[in-house]
Structure 1
């Protein structure tokens, strides 16, 4: 992406971030109520090692579905302007299915309600606020309803884990709270992959209240991702804003995820790379992060994030890299559920960790 386009993206992000908490005035419901609300456009696709099926939110569909003989259910929510047809969700699905355990993996496709038509700046500026303020609550309601129904019909499922990228992470956070309101129970885990920051910095949907255990991976803080810690565990990869691999191989990362060539630039690459960092951890329990108590304080000052030196270091990476190596935790899928705090991890090349890459 050239500097002119990069400047335009920054202007759009700044305008959206600096707008009032609800620029659509959805408290009155005037705009959101005028938008179509076909919740049946949200699609659910179940995958196990042996079979697959599309699910609908009704008992007959779930009764007939070929769920694996497992007590675990993992649901993945794609990002804005995506669908389950792009590479990212398939890579997540395959990473889980290529493991030793036969899990129930559900890909959630909410593209029919996101109002997004593509990855252009116009689409982002015009559609993202509507997706955030109008459609996100509806998607979360439908997803909470589906999870509750699956648990009712398939009684053995006792552990539910939502994983979401960007807007999908914020939807997952809202779903957790709606699920608790509906059922009186709390979801087991929500994982936020660089949760969207635009239109969310002042009022994020993802928080510790979203699940018993909430972990957040930050890879593009201050641009497309949230800045402040929001979970029981928050991990800031490298400097938390621009991933080293995206400075030299942005095309390889975005290409691996099947994104348009227009997206081959460091900030977007860093944002979506959170998916690959997490995928690399699913079947690899030897990726570590170290405690960094200073992150919470550091993220309160924008200069600590955006001032990068020639080595791509900022205050986060310089401060946290010098922290004690004691009490390291396993990063990603295998992070202990009793962990608490902010952490820092350095992973030099996520594509190497994905070798051989999952089939698509």
Structure 2
């Protein structure tokens, strides 16, 4: 079926809707194997058992964004944070060859196939005994939209999705609800905004949205304007990884529905909630988070 793909320069637009697909790979990491990845063949009914999957632990599916890959920062920072707890099976989706720079338009098109195949991974887990309440999807940038689009290919929507600065370019203008992350894609959708209005989506996307440090430019991100934007965009991944560590608490204060915003404006009375992995399912609305630091988020 690959003969029908459209290829230009180094870019590929996948025309086939067939899964599994050789350009979309799934890997498993466990607390026992650490950072030694094992590729999962979802056509093999015994793959999970032989690869060390523990059905009693929670599982997370991590999906990278444009010009990314599953084994480079900052996605590895999220992966390692989960592994450090000893409580998760960590699955990663690698679609690197379908989202290389400068092929953003083809990457947008390819998210449809990636979401279909990633939904197949999700169904593979539930078919082998994983509980939907014990699976959540974490996606950065275009990966956040892929997490949301997965629900279109499932019999029931997912339990929880965490969208890390969901991609904005062209998605805001041309992406309808079927091809972007929305609150309808899971019973609980959390979104962390760190470069809202430029590389990341603006305003409310999920059930609970966190606007960090005003939502646009993050402290510690230096250099020219584009590098600052990319650094801020990736900072959502580092903030989320920090929230997984047991000794880190990132607190959100209720605020008005606008992100980006000037820091300190629009705060409202109400109960504060932790941002990230510790956010309660009951949390709703928009929250502002202030994180003062001088470190940027490493990205490859």
What TM-score do you get using the length of structure 2 for normalisation?
0.84
How far does residue 34 in structure 1 lie from its aligned partner after superposition? 8.4
Match status 1:268 vs 2:255: no
Instruction: Please say if residues 70 and 157 of structure 1, whose CA atoms lie closer than 8 Å, have aligned partners that are also in contact.
Output: no
> Relative to 1, partners in 2 of residues 1:245 and 1:323: Cα closer, same or farther, differing over 3 Å?
farther
> Relative to 1, partners in 2 of residues 1:274 and 1:156: Cα closer, same or farther, differing over 3 Å?
closer
Bigger fraction of residues in strand: 2
Which residue of 282, 288, 298 corresponds with 1:338? 282
Return the index of the structure with the highest Cα Rg. 1
Which residue of 154, 175, 188 corresponds with 2:150? 175
Partner Cα distance (1:339, 1:219) in 2: 19
Secondary structure of the residue aligned to 2:198 is: coil
5+ residue gaps, structure 2, are 1-12
Partner Cα distance (1:265, 1:130) in 2: 23
Match status 1:220 vs 2:195: yes
Cross-structure match for 1:132: 108
RMSD: 2.8
Instruction: Please say if residues 73 and 157 of structure 1, whose CA atoms lie closer than 8 Å, have aligned partners that are also in contact.
Output: no
Partner Cα distance (2:136, 2:16) in 1: 33
> Relative to 1, partners in 2 of residues 1:155 and 1:95: Cα closer, same or farther, differing over 3 Å?
closer
Equivalenced residues, count: 278
Please list, as runs of the form range in 1=range in 2, the aligned pairs for 1:1-360 lying within 5 A after superposition: 33=15, 39-51=21-33, 52-58=37-43, 59-99=45-85, 101-114=86-99, 116=100, 118=101, 123=102, 127-133=103-109, 135-155=110-130, 158-179=133-154, 184-202=155-173, 203=175, 205-247=180-222, 265-284=227-246, 286-292=249-255, 294-295=256-257, 298-299=258-259, 305=260, 315-320=261-266, 322-324=267-269, 326-349=270-293, 351=295
Instruction: Please say if residues 45 and 108 of structure 1, whose CA atoms lie closer than 8 Å, have aligned partners that are also in contact.
Output: yes
5+ residue gaps, structure 1, are 1-30, 251-261, 300-304, 306-314
Partner Cα distance (1:186, 1:216) in 2: 17
Partner Cα distance (2:205, 2:28) in 1: 29
Partner Cα distance (2:278, 2:153) in 1: 26
Cross-structure match for 1:4: none
Partner Cα distance (1:143, 1:43) in 2: 9
